């Protein structure tokens, strides 16, 4: 018998399960399968691209031994970067916004990251914004590398190389629809590119949120600042157009309200036993909003980004839900 073990925590990233959804999908006759990314060691899909971005930066010299990694992250990318930084010997500074759950910051600090918190309700260009602050800290910190997951092509490539092929293999090439929340755009663009190369008829649907620019831009080509306003759903939607969002690969954007995202996240836990994050409820509700497009023989894969452990003080907290008017 050969011993089987991982050399370090990073080797456990990927090969997450595909799980049939049974109750929450109501009367959809198609086979609906969840790609449950909370099985990654950092409990989210972002582990995949965090390691890929670091390894690519190491190989071309952007990231040097003993360096400091700087990134604007709402928590999940930070977690993936933190695990890689531990194994590879780097320091990590994460810049985030004050709308994110406190648990996310505590988790990042638990794995050795330094966390800097910025206001949410300022424009991306504002020097106080988390985009601007990340760029400034990277500039001021010696031997540092600014990851910039929004515009970093390694983000999309990670999903083209791992997530996409896994889904294709797990569905035996029978997938007809891929549904996922869109933030940086890396997951949808990488998985979508891979799947469409295998079968151009596969539909790639992005889930967006009210307060984000994606849907209108996709449908009209207009970047409309009037579409931008604060929202509670974490991890999807943007007030910028990241280079990783390949709008040509996406067939449709569906918007889901903050309330529905929260309510359906809770339903996933209660009805399927899948304790998932805020954007996962949005993905499920978006899928239900589009159910008239599914035929009985379809195979629909919905990617569930992260774990509910990040949201215990919010989505899974009755007081928070009441305060927001969601229950």
| Whole-number Å distance between alpha carbons of 209 and 207 | 7
The catalytic position among 4, 35, 46, 255 is: 46
Using an 8 Å Cβ cutoff, are 180 and 189 in contact? no
Supply the DSSP string of 203-247, one letter for each residue. Answer: EEEEEEETT-SHHHHHHHS---GGG-------SS--SS--TT--T
Instruction: Please state, in angstroms and as integers, the Cα–Cα distance from residue 280 to each residue in 84, 129, 260, 313, 315, following that order.
Output: 25, 26, 11, 17, 12
Beta bridge mates, 19: 34
CA-closest candidate to residue 265, choices 276, 254, 257, 253: 276
Using an 8 Å Cβ cutoff, are 45 and 305 in contact? yes
| Whole-number Å distance between alpha carbons of 185 and 244 | 5
46 is catalytic: yes
Using an 8 Å Cβ cutoff, are 179 and 250 in contact? no
Q: Hey, which residues are catalytic here?
A: 46
């Amino acid at each position: 018998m050969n011993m089987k073990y991982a050399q370090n925590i990073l080797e456990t990233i990927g090969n997450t399960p595909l799980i049939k959804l049974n109750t929450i999908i109501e009367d959809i006759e198609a086979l609906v399968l969840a790609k449950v990314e909370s099985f990654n060691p950092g409990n989210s899909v972002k582990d995949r691209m965090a390691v890929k971005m670091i390894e690519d930066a190491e190989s071309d010299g952007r990231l040097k031994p003993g360096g400091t990694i700087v990134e604007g992250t709402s928590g999940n990318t930070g977690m993936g970067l933190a695990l890689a930084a531990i194994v590879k010997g780097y320091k990590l500074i994460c810049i985030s916004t004050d709308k994110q759950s406190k648990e996310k910051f505590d988790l990042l600090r638990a794995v050795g990251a330094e966390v800097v918190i910025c206001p949410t309700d300022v424009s991306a260009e504002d020097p106080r914004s988390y985009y601007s602050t990340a760029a400034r800290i990277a500039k001021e910190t010696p031997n540092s590398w600014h990851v910039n997951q929004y515009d970093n092509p390694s983000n999309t490539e990670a999903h083209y190389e791992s997530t996409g092929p896994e889904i294709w293999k797990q569905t035996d090439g029978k997938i007809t629809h891929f549904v996922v929340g869109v933030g940086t755009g890396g997951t949808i663009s990488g998985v979508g590119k891979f799947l469409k190369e295998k079968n151009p008829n596969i539909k790639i649907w992005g889930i967006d949120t009210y307060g984000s620019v994606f849907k209108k831009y996709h449908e009209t080509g207009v970047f409309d600042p009037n579409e931008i306003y604060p929202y509670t759903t974490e991890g999807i939607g943007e007030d910028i157009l990241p280079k990783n969002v390949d709008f040509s690969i996406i067939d449709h954007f569906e918007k889901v309200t903050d309330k529905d995202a929260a309510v359906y996240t809770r339903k996933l836990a209660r009805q399927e036993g899948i304790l998932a994050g805020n954007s996962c409820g949005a993905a499920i509700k978006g899928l239900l909003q589009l159910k008239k497009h599914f035929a009985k023989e379809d195979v629909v894969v919905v990617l569930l980004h992260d774990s509910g452990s990040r949201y215990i003080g919010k989505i899974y907290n009755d007081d928070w839900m009441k305060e927001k008017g969601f229950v």
